[in-house]
Amino acid sequence: MSDPAADLLQTARALRAEVGAGLHDQLAEALYTDAAHLADRAVTRPDERPRFDLDRAIDRLVTSRTWGFPIMILLLTVVFWITIQGANVPSSLLATLLLDKVHPALKDGASALGVPWWLSGVLLDGAYLAGAWVVSVMLPPMAIFFPLFTLLEDFGYLPRVAFNLDRLFSRAGAHGKQALSMTMGFGCNAAGVVATRVIDSPRERLIAILTNNFAVCNGRWPTLIMVSTIFIGSAVPAALAGLVSAAAVVSVAVLGVLLTFAVSWFLSRTMLKGQASVFSLELPPYRPPRIWQTLYTSVIDRTLIVLWRAVTMAVPAGVVIWTISNVHVGGESVAEHLVSLLDGFGWLLGLNGVILLAYIVAIPANEIIIPTILMLTVLTARLSGVGQGAGVMFELESGNAIRDILHAGGWTTLTAINLMLFSLIHNPCSTTILTIYHETRSLKWTAVATALPLLLGFAVTFTLATAARLLGWA
Amino acid sequence: MSLNPDPGHEQPAQRTLADLQPGETAEVVALHSDGAERRRLMDLGIVPGTRIIAELRSPLRDPVAYRVRGALIALRQSQAVQIEIRSPAPEMLS
Amino acid sequence: MTMTTNTLPGSACATCPMNRHLARLGVSMDSWDYVVALAGNPNTGKSTVFNALTGLRQHTGNWPGKTVARAEGGFEYGEKRYKIVDLPGTYSLLATSADEEIARDFILFGQPDVTVIVVDATRLERNLNLALQVLEITDKAVLALNLMDEARRHRLVVDERRLARDLGVPVVPMSARRGEGVGELLQMVHGVATGEIRPRPHRLASTRDAALDRVLSQLVARVEAAFPGLPNARWVALRLLDDDASIESAIRDGSLGDLSRGLQTAPVAERLALTGVAS
């Protein structure tokens, strides 16, 4: 007697030929016929149609030709405005507490206990300060942005955004839902990468992951705002300064959106070429959001998880920054050696060695870029009377003081513009890189996600710097 | 925006879902797509005989959201042209 | 709360507050008496049901396809420990997306003691499509008629008794986000898990195609002969006719044979290991 399993499979194959290819269709039809019949028996609908269908009225409005886009832009602007405005006060309170009060107290305590200078340097000036920076800069905006975003999500508005924008994304070979992960990326790229999970087709999801970095995350906004205020705003008459520097920041963010489309288009025609996956987007019924539960889950799920990841990344970076600034080889600190090593390449890009070193050591979190740049500039330009010592990150209240330091470090308008561009177009922070690996489980795509924007950033800044120099602007 | 996708592709002469204007109701006659696309549409409940209503058009005119078996499903125009429709039987309009 | 084929035995919990018996254990469980699978369409509040049962706080958004990874948790009820697995939300178990395969394989090979099918009461017709497919695979199911608050808001009246009678499985109207019906759901899950309730689910009547029905019954006989005691021979036969590669390989490597030899009585850990769930 033959093997019953093989026997069965053979019979099945023979019978399949009799049935033909229409079986799946027949099954689907039969299932839906039954489902419709059962549902019809169980559900009684109200006799008269409700006079006013709220869901439909909202949908007509938020997807209307006239109002769809203005409402979308207005809602997102309000979310960002509340985030930026609301975060200011708690951020400076946290900074005062953690940097101005706790840090000196810890230093005093350490010296009272007789802790050697290098140990308190590594732990308090290095590890503690970096962690404290990240907490005070990141926590307030995230604790405001994520709950607001989650409220929009719970209400059911976000799928409508995907619906409104799908055509643009489909032209770029991507999925409309990428609009959501991109928007989330304006808050935090690591959270944006996780948000690509709602895209159910693998190819389009990968495109969304690889391009999320072009959404300017809230760790990069402070860099853009500061550089643009000091260098761009000051280049125009005072009355226009605020407007022009704000416009410069917005242009960088808009450039990021354009790059998202361009790079998505490029990827879908090269590395991720292939048949477009099946599109489907369900617009769920609106549901009144539950505010307290939303606050709770978004603070726990998103804010604290992302913050914790950033802190665990920033603390070792603080140790590295302090160490390279304080370990001396041949009369100069390691940091100074590295800066002069990177200066040549930095010059080619219209940047400098300090900026490149800051982007290398501050890869864990973009939030510490500015304090690191200031500290390294003071260190390498051998300025005295500013800062708090080698390896100690600091920030100055006054824009003029910062400008003086940076001018002393050899900065020009070109440096500032290219720093803003490089802030937009460079490798994702290590938290995001790690998240990309978690989500893709692929070293290859993690490497592409890291290298692609970095190389693009080199190309853009090099081109601009070279053009400016040839034209005699810089 | 062209309502006739590439001319080399054989196009069913019948009315398709892409012709349905928002507010109009139709009955699905046949699906002219195949493979994963066809399966997905069927899983969403779009099978011959299904009543379907065009409800919303995206501000950029594509995609369009259709009411199918109680849910609102957005389909791109490239998908809608593959779904053949006819005017619904009178009892379906009730 | 609705009953179908059996009356609820006089359990002690019928009188006492439900939540006292619900020891929420989160995920820190190391042994279970029963396995519960949670299936449903995307955006039916499946994750909210999961949270209500386990006390976990998995984020749930008004957005289809929130649960991508499979979430697991546990709870204790009626002195029994339950492991609960939240399957990816899918529209169907017929097509071949990765999510659907995960859900389908778990229900088929994981042999959960109970499969809770979460449906959206406001979109019953669409949701029953998946429910009917689950009922083709397993008898041991409970239908959670979720989002009843939304149904009321839309002034829909759902006759859960008739639905339970038609489907042949217990139907529990609930609103998980308001905590309504959670106790009744637990009671039904317990009843089906312990065998006090024995559902006799609705099966697809016919395919309206006599030739197909003839071929199908031929193949069902062969499947039953090869795997006596298989609880879903008809469904397996249908999948074979539909050229389902993963069912074919399950027949070839003997994992389908294991099911027919009564693996459903094997320890929970062994069954979970079969479907790749860490125990």
Put simply, the answer to whether C62 touches A302 (Cβ < 8 Å) is: no
User: Is C180 touching A (CB cutoff 8 A)?
Assistant: no
Put simply, the answer to whether C122 touches B70 (Cβ < 8 Å) is: yes
What are C150's two structure tokens?
A: 């939304």
pLDDT level of residue A415 (50, 70, 90 thresholds)? very high
pLDDT digits (tens, 9 = 90+) for A155-173: 889 889 999 999 999 999 9
Residue A458's CB is within 10 A of a number of other CB atoms, namely 17
Residues C209, A24: Cα–Cα separation, whole Å: 13
- When CB atoms are compared, the residue of B43, B58, B69 closest to A167 is B58
What are A9's two structure tokens?
A: 């499979």
What are A32's two structure tokens?
A: 């839906």
Q: Say which CATH class B15-92 falls into.
A: mainly beta
Q: Is the Cβ–Cβ distance between C54 and C75 less than 8 Å? A: yes
- The complex scores an ipTM of 0.84
Residue A186 to residues A196, A348, A419, C68: CA-CA distances in angstroms? Answer: 14, 30, 19, 23
Within-domain flag for C254: no
Nearest chain C alpha carbon to A36: C125
pLDDT digits (tens, 9 = 90+) for A93-137: 998 899 889 999 999 999 999 989 899 989 998 889 888 888 887
Instruction: Round the average pLDDT of chain B to a whole number and report it.
Output: 83
User: Is A17 touching C (CB cutoff 8 A)?
Assistant: no
The three-class DSSP label of residue C16 is coil
Total number of domains in chain C: 1
With a CB cutoff of 8 Å and minimum separation 6, the contacts of C113 are C34, C35, C36, C140, C192, C193
The distance of C12 to chain A (nearest Cα, Å) reads 31
Put simply, the answer to whether B39 touches C91 (Cβ < 8 Å) is: no
Put simply, the answer to whether C122 touches B45 (Cβ < 8 Å) is: no
Q: What is the per-residue DSSP string for A207-223?
A: HHHHHGGGS--TTTHHH
Give the residue numbers spanning the domain of C122.
32-203
Q: Name chain B's partners: 3 or more CB pairs within 8 A.
A: A, C
Residue A171: exposed, middle, or buried by beta-carbon count in 10 A (0-12, 13-18, 19+)? middle
What was the pLDDT predicted at C190?
95
Within-domain flag for C43: yes
Taking each continuous run of H as one helix and of E as one strand, the counts in chain A are 22, 4
Within-domain flag for C36: yes
Nearest chain A alpha carbon to C153: A287
What are A342's two structure tokens?
A: 């990177």
Give the amino acid at C251. Answer: I
Strand partners, B87: none
Q: What is the per-residue DSSP string for A9-51?
A: HHHHHHHHHHH-TTHHHHHHHHHHHHHHHHHHHHEE--SSPPS
Instruction: Round the average pLDDT of chain A to a whole number and report it.
Output: 86
User: Is A29 touching B (CB cutoff 8 A)?
Assistant: yes
Give the helix/strand (H/E) hosting B62.
none
User: Across chain C, which distance is largest between two alpha carbons, in Å?
Assistant: 55
pLDDT digits (tens, 9 = 90+) for A419-471: 999 999 999 988 899 889 988 889 999 999 999 999 999 999 999 999 999 99
Within-domain flag for C274: no
Within-domain flag for C105: yes
Residues C103, C84: Cα–Cα separation, whole Å: 13
**Three-state DSSP string of C58-110:** CCCCCCCCCCCCCEEEEEEECCEEEEEEECCCCCCCCCCCHHHHHHHHHHHHC
Region A296-303: mean pLDDT is 73
**C175 secondary structure, DSSP code:** B
Put simply, the answer to whether C59 touches A297 (Cβ < 8 Å) is: yes
Residues C9, C96: Cα–Cα separation, whole Å: 41
Find which of A138-147, C174-183, C247-256 is predicted with most confidence, using mean pLDDT: C174-183
User: Is A164 touching B (CB cutoff 8 A)?
Assistant: yes
Within-domain flag for C248: no
pTM of the entire predicted model: 0.79
Residue C79's CB is within 10 A of a number of other CB atoms, namely 10
Q: Name chain C's partners: 3 or more CB pairs within 8 A.
A: A, B
With a CB cutoff of 8 Å and minimum separation 6, the contacts of C260 are C227, C228, C229, C230
Domain CATH code at residue C197 = 3.40.50.300
What are A2's two structure tokens?
A: 């033959």
Contacts of B36 in chain A (CB under 8 A): 277-278
User: Is A60 touching B (CB cutoff 8 A)?
Assistant: yes
What was the pLDDT predicted at B91?
58
Put simply, the answer to whether C124 touches B70 (Cβ < 8 Å) is: yes
User: Is C1 touching A (CB cutoff 8 A)?
Assistant: no
Phi first, then psi, for residue A286 (nearest 5°) are: -70, 145
What are A282's two structure tokens?
A: 């369900």
Size of interface B-C (CB pairs under 8 A): 27
Residues A165, A69: Cα–Cα separation, whole Å: 9
Please provide the size of chain C in residues: 279
Contacts of A42 in chain B (CB under 8 A): none
Residues A116, A95: Cα–Cα separation, whole Å: 26
Q: Is the Cβ–Cβ distance between C100 and C90 less than 8 Å? A: yes
Contacts of A39 in chain C (CB under 8 A): 124-125, 128
User: Is A28 touching B (CB cutoff 8 A)?
Assistant: yes
Size of interface A-C (CB pairs under 8 A): 163
Q: In what order do the strands lie in the sheet with C171-173?
A: C23-26, C71-77, C80-86, C34-40, C114-120, C141-146, C171-173
pLDDT digits (tens, 9 = 90+) for B36-89: 788 888 888 898 989 999 999 999 998 999 999 888 999 999 999 999 999 886
User: Is A201 touching B (CB cutoff 8 A)?
Assistant: no
